[in-house]
A and B are shown apart, each in its own frame.
Chain A
């Protein structure tokens, strides 16, 4: 009969348990560090998507704002209207869906959308979205306050950040609005035809050009159509020339990017009155209405 050579003693058992525990510790640490590295890798990937979403939101918002300004430029721009419409039209869900694929899920929460006047300067974000880094003063800033979340594999890992994006549209909207306001104030102004004027048409056009150029700033241009209608005044020998100006378009010549919004239209008609009190012999106008087209640019 063979007698068992070894008995399991306390020391043997202790050695075994200690070794197993040590190995378990090593394995758990390796797993922990491995998981940590995998999560850090995932966070890095999510970070790429976060930067992409920042870029995509900036460029998309700029395009929406441009479309809106270009449309309203033909109808009638007011800042409060632009702010209201942009809030309605910006929809980041489509972008978040486009970014999401596979295990990557993106979501955007809008906290605030605001429009502000820009006082000029440099914007690094412009380089990212393909616009010149220098932004003009009197242009429009779109401020977006957002929370962007990029998660990987059902919120297991990811990044969540609150970001504030300041997107500049280079149209000098505030300058254009000021010029439009000043042009509207010209309505119903009367001018006297000075003594010694030989050609009324030249005189009237000269006055209109002077008045418009006075209101235009550097690198703005103005395009308009007009008619001059002579009328005889009742109870006086004076001749009245009514000038009706319409189709006024003010263009920002500095806005030379790919963006469409470059001008605003003055929808109201402007009436100017030129009075020839002296009724002296002047040339240049018959009794019929004459039309003109003006293009003025201030460099």
Chain B
């Protein structure tokens, strides 16, 4: 009887050690991090889709088409609109050449928006903070 009790205690102690080892990896934190990232991407997705729906990229394409002087101001407006969603910077490229940059474009991951025009394909890159 005594031996059974001590075995149980040891088993519980070993289980606790295992539990501590597992919890030290903090699965909840892993889940929380993934969920946070999901929420950030979801917000960003809705914001960018909103930009599409409200014709921001259509208007931007018209400015590009017409070489409008309003282009830079408009890109800044777009940047101001999305920066609260984790966007650190914007970069506009045509044929691999940078046409305009705003914010920070040296880190983060990139969402690329393709804007066709009669002069070629423009790429607007959104730099998102995080990995």
Please give the residue numbers on chain A whose beta carbons come within 8 Å of chain B beta carbons, in ascending order: 5-9, 11-16, 19-20, 23, 26-27, 30, 33-34, 37-38, 40-41, 44-45, 47-49, 51-53, 55-56, 59-60, 63, 67, 94-95, 98-99, 101-102, 104, 124, 127-131, 258
* Chain B residues closer than 8 Å to A27, beta-carbon distance: 22, 27
How far is B113's CA from A49's CA once the two chains are assembled, in angstroms?
7
Contact digits for B93-128, partner A, Cβ 8 Å, 1 yes 0 no = 000000000000000001111111110010100000
* Chain A residues closer than 8 Å to B14, beta-carbon distance: 16, 19
How far is B52's CA from A98's CA once the two chains are assembled, in angstroms?
18
Tell me the count of chain B residues lying within 8 A, CB to CB, of chain A.
50
Q: Is the Cβ of B49 less than 8 Å from the Cβ of A99?
A: no
Out of A23, A45, A52, A67, name the residue touching B118 (CB < 8 Å). A67
Residue of A nearest to B40 (CB): A41
List 20 additional A-B contacts (Cβ < 8 Å) besides A23-B18, A23-B19, A51-B48: A9-B7, A11-B11, A12-B10, A13-B11, A15-B11, A15-B15, A16-B14, A27-B27, A30-B30, A34-B31, A44-B38, A52-B52, A59-B115, A98-B114, A99-B114, A127-B58, A128-B58, A129-B61, A130-B57, A130-B61
A-B CB contact pairs (8 Å), 19 listed: A6-B6, A15-B12, A19-B14, A19-B19, A34-B31, A37-B31, A41-B34, A44-B45, A45-B41, A48-B44, A49-B112, A56-B115, A59-B58, A98-B112, A98-B121, A101-B112, A102-B110, A128-B57, A258-B66
How far is B122's CA from A98's CA once the two chains are assembled, in angstroms?
9
Residue of A nearest to B6 (CB): A6
Most chain A C-beta atoms within 10 Å of own C-beta, residue among B11, B27, B31, B114: B114
Q: Is the contact region of chain B dominated by helix, strand, or loop, or is it mixed? A: helix
Given contacts A6-B3, A15-B8, whether A258 and B35 have CB atoms under 8 Å apart is no
Please give the residue numbers on chain B whose beta carbons come within 8 Å of chain A beta carbons, in ascending order: 3-4, 6-8, 10-12, 14-15, 18-19, 22, 27-28, 30-31, 34-35, 37-38, 41-42, 44-45, 48-49, 52-55, 57-62, 65-66, 110-118, 121, 123
Total contacts A-B at CB 8 Å: 138
* Chain B residues closer than 8 Å to A45, beta-carbon distance: 41, 45, 111
Q: Is the Cβ of A127 less than 8 Å from the Cβ of B55?
A: yes
Top 10 nearest A-B pairs (CB, nearest first) are A130-B58, A15-B11, A19-B15, A30-B27, A12-B7, A60-B116, A37-B34, A127-B55, A56-B114, A41-B38
Residue of A nearest to B44 (CB): A48
Residue of A nearest to B39 (CB): A41
Q: Is the Cβ of A55 less than 8 Å from the Cβ of B57?
A: yes
Q: Is the Cβ of B118 less than 8 Å from the Cβ of A63?
A: yes
What's the minimum C-beta distance from A92 to chain B, rounded to whole angstroms? 11
Q: Is the Cβ of A9 less than 8 Å from the Cβ of B22?
A: no
* Chain A residues closer than 8 Å to B22, beta-carbon distance: 23, 26-27
What's the minimum C-beta distance from A20 to chain B, rounded to whole angstroms? 7
How far is B77's CA from A246's CA once the two chains are assembled, in angstroms?
50
Out of A12, A47, A63, A98, name the residue touching B123 (CB < 8 Å). A98
What's the minimum C-beta distance from A48 to chain B, rounded to whole angstroms? 5
Q: Is the Cβ of A16 less than 8 Å from the Cβ of B57?
A: no
Most chain B C-beta atoms within 10 Å of own C-beta, residue among A94, A104, A127, A130: A130
Given contacts A98-B123, A128-B58, whether A11 and B116 have CB atoms under 8 Å apart is no
* Chain B residues closer than 8 Å to A14, beta-carbon distance: 11
What's the minimum C-beta distance from A262 to chain B, rounded to whole angstroms? 15
What's the minimum C-beta distance from A85 to chain B, rounded to whole angstroms? 17
Given contacts A30-B31, A44-B41, A48-B45, whether A59 and B61 have CB atoms under 8 Å apart is yes
* Chain B residues closer than 8 Å to A63, beta-carbon distance: 116-118
Given contacts A11-B8, A131-B58, whether A55 and B3 have CB atoms under 8 Å apart is no
Out of A6, A52, A101, A124, name the residue touching B10 (CB < 8 Å). A6
How far is B8's CA from A9's CA once the two chains are assembled, in angstroms?
9
What's the minimum C-beta distance from A6 to chain B, rounded to whole angstroms? 6
